[in-house]
Amino acid sequence: MGPKREIAMKKTTQMAGVLEEGRQCGVGDFVLMDSIDLNSFMKNLQIRFEANKIYTYIGEVIVSVNPYKTLDIFNKQYIDSYKGREIFERPPHLFAIADAAHKTMKRKFKDTCIVISGESGAGKTEASKIIMKYLASVTNVSGQKEVERVKNILLQSNCILESFGNAKTNRNDNSSRFGKYMDINFDFKGDPIGGHIENYLLEKSRVVHQQPGERNFHSFYQLLLGGEDRRLSEYGLSRDLKSYAYLNQRGDTEGGLASDKTDYKLVNDAVEIIGFGQAIDTMWKIVSAILHLGNLEFLAENDDAKIKDKKILKNIASLLNVDSTEAEKALCSRVVAAKGERVEKGHTVEQAAYGRDAFAKAIYDRLFTWIVANVNNAIHLKTTGSSKNTIIGVLDIYGFELFDNNSFEQFCINYCNEKLQQLFIELVLKQEQEEYTREGIEWQHIDYFNNKIICDLVEAPHKGIFAVLDEACITVGKVTDQMFLDALSDKLKNHNHFETRKNKSNDKTLEFGKEFRVVHYAGNVTYCVNGFIDKNKDLLFQDFKRLLHNSSNQIIKSMWPEGAKSVDAVTKRPTTAGTSFKNSMIELVKNLASKEPFYVRCIKPNEDKSPVKFDRERCEHQVKYLGLLENVRVRRAGFAIRMPYDRFLKRYKIISASTWPTFRKGSDQDGTRLIIRENNFESDVKYGKTKIFIRSPKTMFALEQKREDN
Ligand code: ATP
Ligand code: MG
């Protein structure tokens, strides 16, 4: 088929491309709007949402609005229609971004990453699955077995991680309560040959406590509602959700979800497929042990805590394959080293209950990390000698959180979002600037609010919030959360983004001695300091570690290597939770910055999960804090469109008799210049070293039109 006929055939599909689509239901790229202001932006977003056009570009950034309904735009036909096409040829779609990341990686032999951001319920996890589905569908045309296996594991891992790491919250029925960054390794043909998942800070406090209207992690309900009768009776469980304290704190148990039962089966199948099927029993035993732990109560006997119901204790010990007497000791007392002697010190009832909850949280957290490690084992890249591989990284991490009560977890999550916003600013600006410099083109700088100051407020050595918190945690003697707040108030009293009642005595919205406020880029968040020190120390009595290290279940034992240490062994002070989170974020940002980024900016259209409601105020807030308008301006300030000369010539040579069918009188750049000159577009373009830069989208329109007319 000759190129002319091929183009004629493509014409119908191009009619639906970014440019054409714009005329009917808003514009497919915000850069193409007639005027760039918030009102026009919001109008375009709303028109498109209402017309079921959930995706819109800002250049190579895609804005996605959660449709809250199933759209028929993810099927095989759609996938095929995006495969190998240029971004502007087809209507905006995540497939196009996934394809661009894949194509860029292959063309430039450079690592790329897709950063998905947005608040809880905005559609990040769904977007990451759509991207994975696309990458899996368009690769491995030759059907290699190993590539098939890796792809399968990458897809299957989702349901296990969601079972153990997601929960129903008031904002999202399937909210990810951990951060996830996945590297996919590709060979020189662009086929996936390995991968690695990095998980960040699981919200383990959920294991023992949930806000009204929220649930514990899905896994608990899946086991209780979907588990086989045999398994449940063996583990001493009933199906009555109300009978478990960890699922029912106020007598207002959240019920099962329609999917719990079927998901249980899917999780088991996925574990089998990925290849750690021999561990399924242990995984569910740990979940069961936690349910029983929640029901374990203590009585005071001469001030010492005693277990009320020994039957529950026996159950727990048998599920974890540990000695029941040892388990009782670990729950009711602790061994301390004093003057070279080991002394057993009884807990009060309060201490015992605290220890029990810390134990439950720690076992669950370890289980989750262990699961991720096992998925990683199965897809670990086998080094293939000299052949280099490239990576696409996909980041799906918790969005900005603002609750009625915000604690240490929200503080960490919001800090993470500050870091990602900082990266976005850096990369979007850097990338544009660098490209102009590289291509020898002048451009005008656009101002952004730079949130670096807030990142510093949190992470700076010595006087950042994490540093002050660590200081409070290592101070000998009893340091209270309030003392920590005092220290913060002193150290940060002059910071524009930090407020406490002590420093702002007139601000009645802040509770004295209890709260501090951070003026985040996405809005103000008031944090309650209660529990900060505890959560940062993240201590678990060595007795528990030793107990599980001595488990006769080898899988459980392997999760607790540090239990081997004896109580009087001098141990290094462990890294605090805050510092270790901070370090992992710095590492993550460094990693992302080394890759060529593609951005998915997710927007939640309303709070009611409605497919028809566009809550203008809520959307506007998100558009503002995601910096989308500035993004459009940066993109427009320079040149809306840029294209390598060879691609330009290939696409538009049909317009000119001098370049059709083949241009032989010079370089690709010469051919490009000729077409531009003949069509009088010279004043609107600049010639870079390898690319043509076109200022106005209208020129692009005109070129496309001429191409279609030919
Ligand atoms: P969190 O930060 O809480 O994990 P999230 O941004 O990952 O939130 P998702 O879980 O991806 O949000 O989406 C929330 C819900 O919105 C989904 O369970 C689904 O019901 C709906 N949804 C999101 N994206 C789509 C889509 N493309 N098509 C249909 N429904 C969607
Ligand atoms: Mg999610």
Concatenated DSSP letters of 362-427: HHHHHHHHHHHHHHHHHHPPPP-TT---EEEEEEE-PPP---SSB-HHHHHHHHHHHHHHHHHHHH
Ligand nearest to the CA of 124: 1
- From the CB of 67, is ligand 1 less than 6 Å away? yes
Q: Report the C-alpha gap between 375 and 153 in whole angstroms.
A: 8
Which is more confident, 392 or 564? 392
3-state class (DSSP) for residue 276: coil
Q: Which of 280, 293, 216 is nearest to 248 (CA)?
A: 216
Q: Which two structure tokens, joined as six digits, stand for 250?
A: 């106020």
Q: Report the C-alpha gap between 222 and 285 in whole angstroms.
A: 13
Residues 6+ positions from 657 with CB-CB distance below 8 Å: none
- From the CB of 421, is ligand 1 less than 6 Å away? no
Residue pair 684/695 in contact (Cβ under 8 Å)? The answer is: yes
Q: What is the pLDDT of residues 277-315, one digit of tens each?
A: 999 999 999 999 999 999 999 999 888 999 999 999 999
Q: Which of 48, 36, 136 is nearest to 92 (CA)?
A: 48
71 has a pLDDT exceeding 50: yes
pLDDT for the residue 445: 67
Ligand nearest to the CA of 259: 1
Other C-beta atoms lying within 10 Å of the C-beta of residue 411 = 25
Under DSSP, the state recorded for 205 is G
| pLDDT classification of 446: cutoffs 50, 70, 90 | low
Would you please indicate which residues are annotated as catalytic (active-site) residues? 120-121, 125, 172, 175-176, 399, 401
Index of the ligand 1 atom closest to the CA of residue 173 = 18
Index of the ligand 1 atom closest to the CA of residue 602 = 6
- From the CB of 125, is ligand 1 less than 6 Å away? yes
Ligand nearest to the CA of 117: 1
Q: What is the pLDDT of residues 512-567, one digit of tens each?
A: 889 999 999 888 999 999 999 999 998 888 899 999 999 999 999 999 998 887 66
In the reported structure, the alpha carbon of residue 119 is separated from the centroid of ligand 2 by a whole-number distance in angstroms of 9
pLDDT for the residue 456: 95
Q: Which of 422, 444, 392 is nearest to 638 (CA)?
A: 444
Q: Which of 332, 290, 339 is nearest to 315 (CA)?
A: 290
| pLDDT classification of 25: cutoffs 50, 70, 90 | confident
- From the CB of 422, is ligand 1 less than 6 Å away? no
Residue pair 592/395 in contact (Cβ under 8 Å)? The answer is: yes
Among the ranges given (250-254, 353-357, 527-531), the one the predictor scored with the smallest mean pLDDT: 250-254
586 has a pLDDT exceeding 80: yes
The arithmetic mean of pLDDT across residues 206-221, rounded, is: 95
Cis peptide before 212 (omega within 30 of 0): no
Other C-beta atoms lying within 10 Å of the C-beta of residue 357 = 17
- From the CB of 186, is ligand 1 less than 6 Å away? no
In the reported structure, the alpha carbon of residue 130 is separated from the centroid of ligand 2 by a whole-number distance in angstroms of 13
- From the CB of 122, is ligand 1 less than 6 Å away? yes
Alpha-carbon distance values, 235 to 112, 226, 288 (Å)? 46, 14, 7
| pLDDT classification of 442: cutoffs 50, 70, 90 | confident
Residue nearest to atom 23 of ligand 1 (CA): 123
Q: Which of 502, 477, 506, 479 is nearest to 491 (CA)?
A: 502
Pocket test for ligand 1, best of 126, 401, 416 (most atoms within 8 A of CB): 126
In the reported structure, the alpha carbon of residue 281 is separated from the centroid of ligand 2 by a whole-number distance in angstroms of 27
Residue pair 125/340 in contact (Cβ under 8 Å)? The answer is: no
14 has a pLDDT exceeding 50: no
The 3-state DSSP composition of the chain as helix, strand, coil percent (nearest 5) reads 50, 15, 35
- From the CB of 64, is ligand 1 less than 6 Å away? no
Alpha helix positions (H), 297-348: 310-319, 324-332
Cis peptide before 661 (omega within 30 of 0): yes
In the reported structure, the alpha carbon of residue 271 is separated from the centroid of ligand 2 by a whole-number distance in angstroms of 21
The arithmetic mean of pLDDT across residues 354-382, rounded, is: 95
pLDDT for the residue 5: 36
pLDDT for the residue 6: 40
- From the CB of 158, is ligand 1 less than 6 Å away? no
pLDDT for the residue 447: 66
In the reported structure, the alpha carbon of residue 126 is separated from the centroid of ligand 2 by a whole-number distance in angstroms of 7
Q: What is the pLDDT of residues 456-501, one digit of tens each?
A: 999 999 989 999 999 999 887 888 999 999 999 999 999 999 999 8
* Mean of the per-residue pLDDT values of the chain: 89
Q: Report the C-alpha gap between 123 and 172 in whole angstroms.
A: 10
Q: Report the C-alpha gap between 134 and 96 in whole angstroms.
A: 9
In the reported structure, the alpha carbon of residue 167 is separated from the centroid of ligand 2 by a whole-number distance in angstroms of 10
Phi/psi at 384 (5° precision):
-105, 55
| pLDDT classification of 33: cutoffs 50, 70, 90 | confident
pLDDT for the residue 595: 93
Which is more confident, 403 or 698? 403
The bridge status of strand 166-167 relative to strand 175-176 is antiparallel
What pTM was estimated for this model as a whole? 0.88
Q: What is the pLDDT of residues 599-637, one digit of tens each?
A: 999 999 999 999 999 999 999 999 988 889 888 887 777
Q: What is the pLDDT of residues 76-123, one digit of tens each?
A: 999 999 998 888 778 999 999 999 999 999 988 999 999 999 999 999
Residue pair 154/128 in contact (Cβ under 8 Å)? The answer is: no
Pocket test for ligand 1, best of 62, 66, 97 (most atoms within 8 A of CB): 66
pLDDT for the residue 20: 47
Under DSSP, the state recorded for 596 is E
pLDDT for the residue 69: 97
Side-chain half-sphere CA neighbours of 418 within 13 A: 26
222 has a pLDDT exceeding 60: yes
